[in-house]
Amino acid sequence: MLTRLYFTYTGIRVRNLRRSLRFYTKVMGMKEILRGTMKHGGVFVHVKSPRSSQRLELNFYPAKTKFHETFRPGSELDHLAFWMKDVKRSYSELVAKGAGEAVEPFKEGRYELAFIKDPDGIWIELIGLSKNSNTEKWR
The binding site for its own copies (CB under 8 A) comprises 2-13, 28-30, 38-39, 48-57, 59, 69-86, 89-90, 93-94, 97, 108, 120-122, 125-127, 139
d(CA 99, CA 35): 24
Edge-to-edge, what's the strand order for the sheet holding 123-129?
Answer: 100-108, 111-117, 123-129
- Minimum distance of its own copies from residue 134's CB (angstroms): 19
Minimum CB separation from its own copies for residue 116, in Å? 11
Closest CA to 110 of 80, 72, 138: 138
**18 versus 107: smaller Cβ distance to its own copies:** 107
CB of 18 to its own copies, least distance (A): 18
User: What is the rounded distance in angstroms from the CA atom of residue 65 to the CA atom of residue 84?
Assistant: 38
Between 6 and 132, name the residue whose CB sits nearer to its own copies: 6
